[in-house]
Structure 1
Amino acid sequence: MDHRALLTDAASRPLDAARQVLDGLASGSLHAMPEGRGNSIAWLVWHAARQADVQLAALHGGAEVWADGWAHRTGIDRGEGDFGFGDGVAEVAALRVADPDALLGYAAAVTDALTTYVGSLAATDLDDVVDTNWTPHVTRGVRLISIIDDAVAHLGQAAYVRGLVDGWSIGY
């Protein structure tokens, strides 16, 4: 299998999970925080997309997808570079989304940007060192896997939260 096909498939899976989690979700469930302190579905989907967007922009040296008016469309008053790392209970509770379709639209736009980027890479590009702050140094390929893995983890958490607040199951 070609590296581009493999990474494109992996990068698309979190969006598929987001579609399932958000489908038919009531606003109260979207913003529910388990036991008043767990991350809400809205925050988890937003964070999964934002961390991918911020890290992808750093990889390609261009603008974040967020800069294309997504703060306004989603109603989330967060600036570029802010992806919720370190958010506490108050910040999670304050993140409100009026339209889950806008949140899904943002996740789809980030996924499109990520898969377009992956499609532009030669296999040798994956070996480029992009971060020397870690031992071993982080390559482009490892960073891409990290971005995808983080999104998968947060969408899994969103599915779990939906199960807690709605008694819902992803269908497996």
Structure 2
Amino acid sequence: MKTTDTIRDLIGRVEHSLSQLRDLSPQELNTHPGGHPNSPAWLLWHVGRELDMQLAHISGGEEVWARHRDRFNLGDIGDTLGYGHTPEEARSVLLDDHTLLRAYIREALSAVAAHAARVTDWGEVVDTYDGEPVTRQVRVTSLLLDALEHLAQVHYIAGMPSMVP
């Protein structure tokens, strides 16, 4: 299997996971099970941001966030990635619209798919991590796997019998 085929498969898995997630009410989106600072809203927002921001970084393209920023109304915190948020910063990501989150994630996924269709060298080094080179293949794979992991967390929370106190 070619790398592009694997990336397309992962994109499809992220889309499938997103499509299987039930709609969450504003209260459910902003709940913090066990007092954890990352709510389902934060997790979904972060899925979009990490796909979008990391892809823009390695592709040299623009973030799709610019088309969504005002609708999210998160201020400066919305422009961040989410990694390293303090508990207070994570709790400040309050969103009431599940469909807005889905639309942003889907547009970011479309950008990843368009990028994958254009890539001719998956082995190109696009970054470093802990002083080690990171190839385009590794970075795109890892951002899609991270998206799947965060979506799985939202599915888990959404399935809790009484997730909203």
Q: Please report the TM-score for the alignment, with normalisation by the length of structure 1.
A: 0.85
**3-state DSSP of counterpart to 1:138:** strand
2:118 to 107, 117, 120: 120
**3-state DSSP of counterpart to 2:75:** coil
Is the CA contact (8 Å cut-off) linking 1:10 and 1:148 kept in structure 2? Answer: yes
The question of 1:141 aligning with 2:137 is answered yes
Residue in 2 that maps onto 1:109? 107
Length, aligned pairs only: 163
Deviation of the 1:80 alpha carbon: 7.2
Unaligned runs of 5+ in 1: 168-172
What's the % identity of the aligned pairs? 32
Residue in 1 that maps onto 2:3? 3
Structure 2 Cα separation of the partners of residues 111 and 126 of structure 1: 18
Deviation of the 1:165 alpha carbon: 5.8
| CA displacement, residues 63-95 of structure 1 (integer Å, 9 cap, x when unaligned) | 111012x12122332467511111132222221
Is the CA contact (8 Å cut-off) linking 1:126 and 1:141 kept in structure 2? Answer: yes
Q: Which residue type is aligned with residue 43 of structure 1?
A: W
Structure 1 stretches of 4+ moved >4 Å: none
Alignment of 1:1-172 (within 5 A): 1-21=1-21, 23-68=22-67, 70-78=68-76, 82-122=80-120, 125-134=121-130, 136-164=132-160, 166=162
Q: Which residue type is aligned with residue 39 of structure 2?
A: S
CA RMSD in angstroms, aligned pairs only: 2.0
Structure 2 Cα separation of the partners of residues 152 and 108 of structure 1: 13
Is the CA contact (8 Å cut-off) linking 2:29 and 2:96 kept in structure 1? Answer: no
Structure 2 Cα separation of the partners of residues 83 and 97 of structure 1: 16
**3-state DSSP of counterpart to 2:159:** helix
Is the CA contact (8 Å cut-off) linking 2:77 and 2:89 kept in structure 1? Answer: no
Q: Please report the TM-score for the alignment, with normalisation by the length of structure 2.
A: 0.88
